Structure 1
């Protein structure tokens, strides 16, 4: 059974039409070569050369591809993959970045860390 600490039980449920809808709706660049895994392929471990992405991230977090440099900084600092982030945590990162840009400022990881603390599950 899949849970927060075991993604090996999470499988693809999309079909080709669903993928095409997400590619169109969220303007996913064709250069990223979006593809569907086989129905019985778990999201983790990732297929070599591919990054698994949950569609719920698009629906609930305003998640977009390609990723912004700031989001990549946050993910690298915390050593997490986007699929490991809670949708509220990912939304906070995006909200902070948008607020900075609205103030004509570049988002800064140290400033972000002064306002927000991202916790690992079980911490």
Structure 2
């Protein structure tokens, strides 16, 4: 049976209520170039009010979910397979997708939708999509964030070509429970052991091919660190 482990604030989209200074920290810290035209929304707007040619992203995608733009091919394949728009994914869903992608890459396993589905079942909560544990398989995510306070009100708009994925807004529909064969003897399945959720620095995400936001002036080295055992330069 699928379970949603993280408490997500319920209710419809709510009006903007977050600090413009934090928005500007995000645009600077994650190196948004001017041509992306990231916009802090006017007061009273909701995440559904993106202007034509723009899409909505949420603060917690970046601060909790290790999300970066440009997106990875794996993220594109996930959105294509499940048929929903990136702006319809909740932060808990983003945490699970990016944790899975990192876990695969840290074991030199190519992340795919088929492998992801072994562990997770699609869920929908009031118009937003996430993923719950598939009861017949092992858990691979430990200690996910327990709550995302006011996440629906902490959003911004950005030019849609920044996320060059053909996306549609998925209409509410019935999500049927999936019964999938668990490859319990498969090498890749055995390698993916339970690990806690973490917020990674750019040196780790760049090494895992999950970010290209690397500063040429940085004194750090792109490395992939797994379970605090050693450092692997990529």
On whether the aligned pair clears a TM of 0.5, the verdict is yes
CA contact (8 A) 1:12 1:37 kept: no
Aligned in 2, Cα 1:105/1:77: closer, same or farther, shift over 3 Å?
same
1:93: which partner in 2? Answer: 97
Structure 2 residue aligned with 1:109, among 109, 113, 124? 113
- How many angstroms does 1:56 deviate by? 2.1
Quote the Cα distance in structure 2 between the aligned partners of 1:4 and 1:28: 30
CA contact (8 A) 1:52 1:83 kept: yes
Q: How many residues align?
A: 119
- How many angstroms does 1:95 deviate by? 1.0
1:67-104, Cα deviation, whole Å (9 max, x unpaired): 21211221222222333323222111101111121122
**TM-score computed with the length of structure 2 as normaliser:** 0.45
Q: Does 1:13 align with 2:18?
A: yes
Quote the Cα distance in structure 1 between the aligned partners of 2:10 and 2:75: 21
Q: Which blocks of at least 5 consecutive residues in structure 2 are unaligned?
A: 1-8, 127-174, 176-234
Higher helix residue share: 1
**TM-score computed with the length of structure 1 as normaliser:** 0.78
Structure 1 residue aligned with 2:124, among 98, 120, 123? 120
- How many angstroms does 1:38 deviate by? 1.7
Higher strand residue share: 2
- How many angstroms does 1:12 deviate by? 5.4
Please give the secondary structure, in 1, of the residue aligned with 2:87.
helix
2:133: which partner in 1? Answer: none
Q: Which blocks of at least 5 consecutive residues in structure 1 are unaligned?
A: none
The structure with the largest alpha-carbon Rg is 2
Aligned in 2, Cα 1:14/1:52: closer, same or farther, shift over 3 Å?
farther
1:50-78, Cα deviation, whole Å (9 max, x unpaired): 11112122222112122212112212222
